[in-house]
Amino acid sequence: MNKFVFTVFKAIAMAMIFVFVFDMVFYLYRALSINQRMLNLMTSMQQVVMDNNYLPQGDYNLYRTLFQELASNYNDPDGDGVADPFDKFVNGFNINYNHDAHDCLDSLVVERYQTSGAGGGSVVNSDVLRKRMDIPANYGDVMVVQVDVEIRQPVWGFDTSAPNVVAGGERGSTAWQNDRTSANIRNAVQTFTYTYYVPCLKYQSITE
């Protein structure tokens, strides 16, 4: 009897370990998959910025649609139009289109474009680095092309992003946590940031 009980518990433990391992492997596969697709999209976006000295509104709308479709493919793999909030993979995207890019190594990049000032000193042209893709730059400037994608890590329901606890803190059909669950538990996320410094190569001659 004791051997039978031990065998049952061993089988249950092995099954639980297998579930966690399989979920982690599947998460890593999806993370690598979306990373490769983002690299392809970013290569295309860099070319558009290089050719136009910025990201035109029409191209921005196109990439926004592509990002939305990418998120939909991961959040709703069966294509029924209903994403499972507990199995959501992509939280969203951030692109430096109407705001500055973050965490740029502007000092390192700008130093490459120093010009001699009065008395032989060096003057840094601070306008050389463009941190917003919606404002056209000049020929020879460097534009930051940056996109963030936030993905959710597997937490197997142990997070406070689940539906609210029912009144009184008791467990309910749609709430797993109770009044003794730590409020510090949050949904674990990982942000992939793609940052590129793209030279603006569109030359426009002005003649009267």
> Within a domain: residue 9?
yes
> Within a domain: residue 69?
yes
Supply the pLDDT for residue 207: 52
Supply the pLDDT for residue 129: 86
The domain total for the chain is 1
List the chain residues with pLDDT less than 50: 108-113, 120-126, 161-174, 176-178, 208
> Within a domain: residue 121?
yes
Supply the pLDDT for residue 18: 79
> Within a domain: residue 59?
yes
Range of the domain at 118: 2-153+188-199
Q: What is the distance between the alpha carbons of residues 34 and 38, in angstroms, rounded to a whole number?
A: 6
Reduce the secondary structure of the chain to three states and give it as a string. CHHHHHHHHHHHHHHHHHHHHHHHHHHHHHHHHHHHHHHHHHHHHHHHHHHHCCCCHHHHHHHHHHHHHHHHHHHCCCCCCCCCHHHCCEEEEEECCCCCCCCCCHHHHHHHHEEECHHHCEEECCCCEECCCCCCCCCCCEEEEEEEEEEECCCCCCCCCCCCCCHHHCCECCECCCCCCCCCCCCCEEEEEEEEEEECCCCCCCCC
> Within a domain: residue 17?
yes
Supply the pLDDT for residue 85: 59
> Within a domain: residue 159?
no
Supply the pLDDT for residue 27: 87
> Within a domain: residue 125?
yes
Q: Which DSSP state fits 165?
A: P
